[in-house]
Amino acid sequence: MTNKPFHGKGNWRHGAWHRNPKLYNTWATMMHRCEDPKHPKFRIYGGRGIEVCNKWHDPNAFMDWAETHGYREGLQIDRIDNDGPYSPQNCRWTTAKENCRNTRRNRFLTVEGERLTVAEWAERTGTPASTIYGWMYKFGVEGAERRVGERAGAGTKKILKFFGAPRKRKSSKKPDYLVH
């Protein structure tokens, strides 16, 4: 296939759409975002230098790669390095949840040498993400990392992950000042 820019016009000769319509639509959308200046998201893809490798300008080559690298219906293509190209070395298939955690907007915290997104720390500690963002605003990243570390507990991360945070037991005994 030639290295001509993609112009958004379908090519019925390659037969890729008939091979797998959903995967073909993934390919076409990727091409439009990166190659078509009229596409609404071109500014954040092609406009900032995100390209599609020459090999993948052929939809069948893209589909061959996808089928041998874990494509299943319901998964999304994800660039490992968000500033890198769409290419076999920089792409993988992920769930929508995983894909959302690999964006330029994500904020990361490092606690005990482990770097995770705010959403991942929220899941792990049972603390709402909005609370963690509030700590970042109020105390800075270091302060938020300290607070998240306290919530995760030194050495108890695995326990929290499997069993949840320990619950405080209510005492059934009434305080002395309430007993008559």
pLDDT digit string (tens) for 129-153?
A: 899 989 989 989 898 899 998 888 7
- Per the model's pLDDT, the better-predicted residue between 128 and 18 turns out to be 128
In the three-class reduction of DSSP (H, G, I as helix; E, B as strand; rest coil), residue 38 is classed as coil
Neighbours of 52 (CB within 10 A): 20
The predicted pLDDT at position 28 comes to: 93
Regarding pTM above 0.85, the answer is: no
pLDDT digits (tens, 9 = 90+) for 101-118: 778 788 888 998 988 889
What the block records as the tokens of 27 is 């390919």
Q: What is the distance between the alpha carbons of residues 37 and 33, in angstroms, rounded to a whole number?
A: 8
pLDDT in tens, 37-73: 999 999 999 999 999 999 999 999 999 999 999 999 9
Tell me the average pLDDT across 26-30. 94
Long-range own/partner contacts, residues 110-115 (CB < 8 A, 24 or more apart): 110/145, 111/145, 111/148, 111/149, 111/152, 112/149, 112/152, 112/154, 112/157
Q: What is the H or E stretch that residue 144 is in?
A: helix 129-152
Report the C-alpha gap between 63 and 84 in whole angstroms.
20
Domain ranges across the chain: 15-100, 108-153
Amino acid at 126: G
Instruction: State mean pLDDT over 26-32.
Output: 94
